[in-house]
A and B are shown apart, each in its own frame.
Chain A
Amino acid sequence: MISEIDIYAGLSSPIHRWDPRLKVISILTLIFSIMLLYDLKLVIASMLFAIILVYISRIPFSFIAGRLKWVFLFVLPFLIILPFTVIGEGSEIAHIGSITLNFRGIESVEFAVMIVIKALTAVMLIFPMIGTSRMDVTIKALEDLHLPNKLVQMLAFTYRYIFVLSNEFMLMERSLTSRGFKRGSNLYTIITLSKAIATLFVMSYEQAERVFYAMRSKGYAGKVTTMHEFTLRPQDWLNAVVVCGFAIFVQVAVWYGTLEGA
């Protein structure tokens, strides 16, 4: 059984072979750099770069698209609302009661499209960053990068127990089904599933207490340390130079564009 989060971690690609520490740092740098952009052309170029990275990682686009659609639904309101939101001047196109609908012009459409593409690109980059190493390796990489230990512990426990809890919920659902429960679009379904989830919360609280007891029994005094060995090869650095290089390039392009404009 392979958990969904690790489903494509076993493929072989240059991104998979990349040292997880440099991979996390480089792609995070790229994500931050893209987030700072306010130029549609550069944002589109970044998205193309992200698509190339995904292509090299061999993670199927259909898998990524399936997850990106939820992000798209989340950012869709920007696309609809921003072109009609007026800060300053806008041309009035409709007047309904006390609400006036204004259009800010093609720049506002571009701005909205840019926000959506930035969001999609950032989420798309998460896949080659996290999905190309097993989660336990990524967690160890984060520990090696001196991420605060509490955060590493939270990630490690989430990864470890999310499966236990989802299994418990599956058992609960089976138990409900075997006693004649059918999911439907009604209040009864919502109430029943809410109660099941509430029970799951209580169970997870009790399990957390038992796990804490087990940790204390094994000498836990607040810090979790694991053993890991990562080695850096020239190829790892080269990959980092390419990805970080692009992140820097777009920022330099913005800076150069600003100078030109001035």
Chain B
Amino acid sequence: MPAIKIQDLDYTYNDGTVALEHVSFEIEKGESVALIGPNGAGKSTLLLHLNGILHSSESRESVKILGESVDPKKIHEMPKKIGIVFQNADDMLFMPLLGDDVAFGPINLGLDKEEVQRRVKDALEMVGLAGYEHRVPHHLSGGEKRRAALATVLSMEPEILAMDEPTANLDPKSKREFIEILRRFKEKGKTLVIITHDVNAIPELAERVIVLDKTVIADGPTRDIFSDTEMLVKIGLDVPVITQLFEILRCFDYPCDVLPLSIEGAVTNLTETMKGGDGHVHLHIHEHTHSGISSARSKYHIHVEKHE
């Protein structure tokens, strides 16, 4: 039984804007999937369909979570199955105290007081905000707010965690901390769906990528998707900086058949290359080097039409 099954989902906003067209995919339990796509591709709209907040009469029964169709009349029952973390943390933290915000979901689930208190404590610990129960949300920093918003969902202990741009606008330290928290969640075998533009974070978090532009453009393992640079660049997306660097290094005769996607992959690749080269990495400039570099760089250069 897949964790998420979407079959032929369509959605049009009241003003006539088509947001989703014939979207279909399945996500298995325990999978981590990144949902990428240009602005206005319908990613956030799709996310709101996962617990029935957005729905349309023509796409009834199109979304199934843990084997059951999402019923818009039973949205209040969905948090047990799927937790959604919105892009703007201020939208998620609506109670006077952070402790109340984290307890909000468990109280709605009808849990007893001791269990609610345990979940609040655990969720805040998990995101590194232990002891923040009596803090006022609007006094938290941007990074803390983002982690607090995640805690409000983790306290419901959902099977699936879906997040909209979790690392956007975070400073490097906060971003690192956030990625670590998500990695721990992933290691627990939970299903993770992440909407993101941060292509450098994807290899660390997701083994599969779905490219969405109103409909599913591509769906496959992260490495395969990032290998199809033409497709990504065509719809205005990017590949990780590390991948771009190693493609440039190849122009200097660096032996690399499979381009690394992350720093960890780069370290492994360099180590193996050095082992094969008696502890050295050999780079050379040839006649074709500069043309190779230009061609590699132009591939990622997004052309903007000039208006006279």
Do A and B interact? yes
In angstroms, Cα B137 to Cα A88, docked, is 59
The interface stretch among B84-92, B123-131, B263-271 is: B84-92
| Residue contact B109 to A157, C-beta cutoff 8 Å | no
Given contacts A156-B95, A217-B84, contact A227 B103 (CB under 8 A): yes
Q: Which residue of A lies closest to B133 (CB)?
A: A227
| Residue contact B95 to A210, C-beta cutoff 8 Å | no
In angstroms, Cα B88 to Cα A144, docked, is 31
Residue B201 at the A interface, CB < 8 A? no
Q: How far is the CB of B110 from chain A (nearest CB, A)?
A: 9
Which residues in chain A, 209-226, are within 8 Å of chain B measured between CB atoms?
210-211, 213-221, 224-226
A160 contact set on B, CB distance < 8 A: 93-96, 137-138
| Residue contact A227 to B94, C-beta cutoff 8 Å | no
Residue B76 at the A interface, CB < 8 A? yes
> How many residues of A are in contact with the other chain, CB < 8 A?
29
| Residue contact B100 to A226, C-beta cutoff 8 Å | yes
| Residue contact B117 to A213, C-beta cutoff 8 Å | no
| Residue contact A214 to B100, C-beta cutoff 8 Å | no
| Residue contact B90 to A164, C-beta cutoff 8 Å | yes
Q: How far is the CB of A87 from chain B (nearest CB, A)?
A: 48
In angstroms, Cα B96 to Cα A161, docked, is 10
| Residue contact A217 to B51, C-beta cutoff 8 Å | yes
| Residue contact A219 to B156, C-beta cutoff 8 Å | yes
Pick from A156, A211, A217, A226: contact of B83, CB below 8 A.
A217
Which residues in chain B, 55-114, are within 8 Å of chain A measured between CB atoms?
75-79, 83-84, 86, 88, 90-97, 99-100, 103-105, 107-109, 113
| Residue contact B99 to A227, C-beta cutoff 8 Å | yes
Residue B48 at the A interface, CB < 8 A? yes
The proximity string for A residues 181-216 relative to B, scoring 1 for CB distances below 8 Å and 0 otherwise, is 000000000000000000000000001001101111
| Residue contact B86 to A216, C-beta cutoff 8 Å | no
B48 contact set on A, CB distance < 8 A: 213
B137 contact set on A, CB distance < 8 A: 160
> How many residues of B are in contact with the other chain, CB < 8 A?
38
| Residue contact A211 to B152, C-beta cutoff 8 Å | no
Residue B53 at the A interface, CB < 8 A? yes
B156 contact set on A, CB distance < 8 A: 218-219
| Residue contact B96 to A156, C-beta cutoff 8 Å | yes
A157 contact set on B, CB distance < 8 A: 94
In angstroms, Cα B75 to Cα A164, docked, is 27
Most buried by B among A139, A161, A213, A219: A219
Q: How far is the CB of B237 from chain A (nearest CB, A)?
A: 25
In angstroms, Cα B93 to Cα A211, docked, is 8
Residue B245 at the A interface, CB < 8 A? no
Residue A163 at the B interface, CB < 8 A? yes
Q: How far is the CB of B99 from chain A (nearest CB, A)?
A: 7
B284 contact set on A, CB distance < 8 A: none
Pick from A136, A216, A217: contact of B136, CB below 8 A.
A136
A135 contact set on B, CB distance < 8 A: 96
In angstroms, Cα B103 to Cα A220, docked, is 12
Which residues in chain A, 125-163, are within 8 Å of chain B measured between CB atoms?
135-136, 139-140, 156-157, 159-161, 163
Most buried by B among A136, A140, A164, A218: A218
In angstroms, Cα B120 to Cα A226, docked, is 12
Given contacts A220-B76, A221-B76, contact A213 B94 (CB under 8 A): no
Residue A93 at the B interface, CB < 8 A? no
Residue B160 at the A interface, CB < 8 A? no
B139 contact set on A, CB distance < 8 A: 1
| Residue contact A219 to B108, C-beta cutoff 8 Å | yes
Residue B209 at the A interface, CB < 8 A? no
Query: Lowest 9 CB-CB distances: which A-B pairs, in order?
Result: A219-B108, A136-B96, A218-B105, A210-B91, A221-B76, A226-B100, A219-B79, A163-B138, A219-B76
